[in-house]
Amino acid sequence: MASRERGFTLVELVVVIVILGIVTAVALSRYAGYTREARIAALNGLAGAIRSSVALVQARYVATAATNSPVTLAGGTTVAVGTAGGTAGIPRSTATGLPRAVNVGNTFTYTAGAATGTYNFPTPIANCNVRYTAATGRPTVFTGGC
């Protein structure tokens, strides 16, 4: 008895290709959403680390009755801080200030400035970063471009 093998029809193949296209489109849009959420979460985590580091440096400044800059942390790291008025003990936004208090490894890059400093991803994304203001000691998270 001879067996007759049959393959898929052209219509069946087209239907499978269309279904795969729809599944791919849905998966890509969800992936893009997860990427955005992950970037925002990383920035919010960095902002928390900055707030904690500022509090730690200020506490060290007060505990050691420091009146000048820099402040030496327990591990020997020195951090440049403000010394007058409301900025006393707050890390400066210079390269010798905040980035010495916050260890981010290679996750972010820091661009120092006189009044503000900016943390970006290694490949910068416009309007997706954290800016630190030395006058207040506070980070601001920008997520519009994430």
pLDDT (0 to 100) of residue 3: 64
Whether the model pTM is above 0.85: no
**Residue 144 pLDDT > 80:** yes
Average pLDDT, the chain: 90
Q: Where are the domains of the chain?
A: 12-142
Phi, psi (degrees; rounded to nearest 5) at 138: -120, 140
pLDDT (0 to 100) of residue 48: 96
Show the 3-state SS of 1-34.
CCCCCCCCCHHHHHHHHHHHHHHHHHHHHHHHHH
pLDDT in tens, 66-107: 788 899 988 899 999 998 888 899 999 999 999 999 999 889
Residue 96: burial class (beta carbons within 10 Å; 0-12, 13-18, 19+): middle
- Nearest one of 141, 122, 114 to 49, comparing CA atoms: 141
**Residue 128 pLDDT > 90:** yes
Residue 42 DSSP symbol: H
Mean pLDDT for 40-51 is 96
pLDDT (0 to 100) of residue 21: 84
pLDDT (0 to 100) of residue 132: 97
Q: Which one is predicted more confidently, 28 or 112? A: 112
Q: Which two tokens stand for residue 39?
A: 């970037």
Mean pLDDT for 41-66 is 93
